[in-house]
Structure formats: C-alpha cells, structure tokens
Amino acid sequence: MKSFLIKLTVFVLIGAAAFHLKSYLLLRNDKYQRKVSAREVYHVIGKSQQKNPSRKVLIGDSVARQFFNSESENDTLNSLASNQAISLAGQYILLDNYLKAGNVIDTCYAVFIPSSFQNNLQQLFTYNYFVKPFYKDQYKPLLTETVKNQVEKIPYHGVAQYFGVLTNNWAPEFVSDDQQDYAFFSPVSVEYIHKMSALAKAKHFKLIFVPAVCNENQRKNIESFDKTELAKNHIEQEFAGYFDHIQYVDSKEFVDDMHLHAPEKFIHLYQNQIR
C-alpha cells in the first residue's frame, strides 16, 4: 500500500505540475482566450474595450454572428455578436464596455432569435460562456441579484477564475431545476432589456431589437407566442414589431435547428432593418 500511494502521489504531482505550468503559460498574454470553446466571447470582450469609429454597434447571438461576423472589421457597423449563452447580462456588459471605452453610438442593433431570450443562466454552457468570462470582480457591479443568484446555483462557480479552470473547457455537470414559467423572456433577459433601454436613454442612442432569421420549423411555436408576456414584463415598446418582422427560412437550409449552411444567401433579409 505504501509504495502504491507514494508512486501514485508522485505521478499525480508531476501531472498536476505539468498541468499548472501549461495553464500558466496559457494565462500569460491571455493565450487561452483563443483556445477555449468560448473564444468568440473573449474576442468580442476584447473588441468591446477598443475604440471604433463606427456609430452603429451590433450585439447578438450565434445566428446573428453568422451574418455579422465579429471577427472582421467594419467601419460603419461594429459587430459584437457572439453567442446566446452569454445571456443578455453578458450582452449588456459588452455594450457597457463599448461605451466606457469612449465610443459614441447612435444606434445599437440587438439581433437575436426569440429562443435566445429564454436564457436564464441555467444552461450547461453558462459556466464556460458566462461564469468564466463575465463573473469577475470588474463586472460584478453590473450584475443584478437575479444573475448572482443564478450563478450561485452552479456548482464550482467559485473556482471559475482559478487559472487551472479558467484556461480550459472544463465545466461542472449541471442540470438546472429552474421552473420555466415564461415562453420566451426569462427573468434575466427582462432585467437586462430594461437596463439596456435605460442605458440607451442615458447615452442617447437608439436600441433596436431585430429578429435573426428563424427556421421554418419554429414558426408554429413562435407564432403561438402569447404577446401578453411582453406587456407583463413592460417590454412592449422595445419589442414593437419584433415578432411581426421574423423571417422564416426553409429547414433544409439549416445545419441544425438554428444555424444556416450558407448565411450569405440570406443577408438581404436584413437590408430593411439594419442599415
């Protein structure tokens, strides 16, 4: 037993040292941010902190990102589209970063498919896409109690910033026991829609919610949406016209339920809404 434990301890210690060395090397110069699965999130966080001459900014989910690539530069429309998994809380932080970086905007397009608003930070992806990049001291003043409560339900949320965890894709097994009593607008989404509206008012820019292209197979579900949910959450104004302008595309054009094989074929669908 003794020799087994000694050998095992040595093996584990060498492995742990190598692991930490690798994590440390990835942490230096933020190399991990280009390596992890949520790399597009880190990319837009970096981009949101830079000055840009564009007076139009776009935030959005991964469907929006297919059309408005945040990797490329555009002087007239700066895309910070990333992923629905960051929730509207993450989207708000991006917008806040962008304004704090000294950028002046006159329009912010928020491009999402309706199901993106269901995110209540209760997803399996929340750990890698929200907790690691956004649940940091510097952003905590921007987080509501609802967000903090949701994050605290996720196991091991407290070690997310530890570099051995931060620099890789590990996430704990997590199945939320949240009761979803809303069709599309989660409590987190509603809070941050209000916060975005307030920010738009304070900084004098227009906030326009634009529907991203949806799969035809979602039509029935979306069209059965009871719009009283908008009134109940006092977001009718922000979403006036959003549900009426949804463009549906045949299911055959999709890789999965949401993402298109060839988004460039459908970019014209946004011409009237995003100029």
Partner 1 sequence: MLFNSLDFALFFPVVFALYWFVAKDHLKWQNLLLLVASYFFYACWDWRFLFLLMFSTVLDYYTGLQMYDAKSQRMKRFWFWLSVGINLGFLGIFKYYNFFAESLAASLSAVGFHADFWTLQVILPVGISFYTFHGLSYVIDIYKDRIKPERNFVDYSVFVSFFPLLVAGPIERATHLLPQIQSKRVFDRNNAVDGLKQVLWGLFKKVVIADNCAEYVNMVFANSENYSASTHAVAAIFFAFQIYGDFSGYSDIALGTARLLGIDLLRNFSYPYFSRDIAEFWRRWHISLSTWFRDYLYIPLGGSKGGDWMRIRNTFIIFLVSGFWHGANWTFIVWGLLHALFIMPSVIFKTNRNNLEIVAAGRIFPKFKDLTAIVVTFGLTVFAWIFFRADSLAGAFQFIGEMFNASMFSKPEGVRNTTVWMIVALVVVEWLGREQKYGIAKLVDRWPLVLRWLFYYTIVFLIFEFRGSSQQFIYFQF
Residues near partner 1 (CB under 8 A): 1, 3-4, 8, 11, 14-15, 18-19, 124, 155-156, 168-173, 251-252, 254-257, 261
Closer residue to partner 1 (CB): 17 or 267: 17
Least CB distance to partner 1 at residue 239 (A): 29
- Longest Cα–Cα distance of the chain, Å, equals 74
Give the integer Cα–Cα distance in Å for 273 and 275.
Answer: 6
C-beta of 22 vs 194, nearer to partner 1: 22
Phi, psi of 136 (to 5 degrees): -120, 160
Between 16 and 104, whose beta carbon lies closer to partner 1? 16
Query: Looking at beta carbons only, is 35 or 245 nearer to partner 1?
Result: 35
Q: Taking Cα atoms as reference points, which of 103, 86, 106, 105 lies closest to residue 45? A: 86
Q: How many distinct helices (H) and strands (E) make up the chain?
A: 11, 6
CB of 89 to partner 1, least distance (A): 23
| Nearest to partner 1 of 137, 173 (CB atom) | 173
Phi-psi region of 147 (alpha: psi -120 to 50; beta: other; left: phi over 0): alpha
Nearer to partner 1, 153 or 172 (CB): 172
DSSP state, residue 110 = E
To partner 1, the closest distance from the beta carbon of 83 in angstroms equals 14
The set of residues, in sequence order, having a beta carbon less than 8 Å from that of 250 and lying 6+ positions away, is: 216
97: left (phi over 0), alpha (psi -120 to 50) or beta: alpha
Nearest to 136 by CA among 178, 176, 90: 90
**Minimum distance from CB of 35 to partner 1 (Å)?**
10
**Nearest distance in Å: CB 173, partner 1:** 5
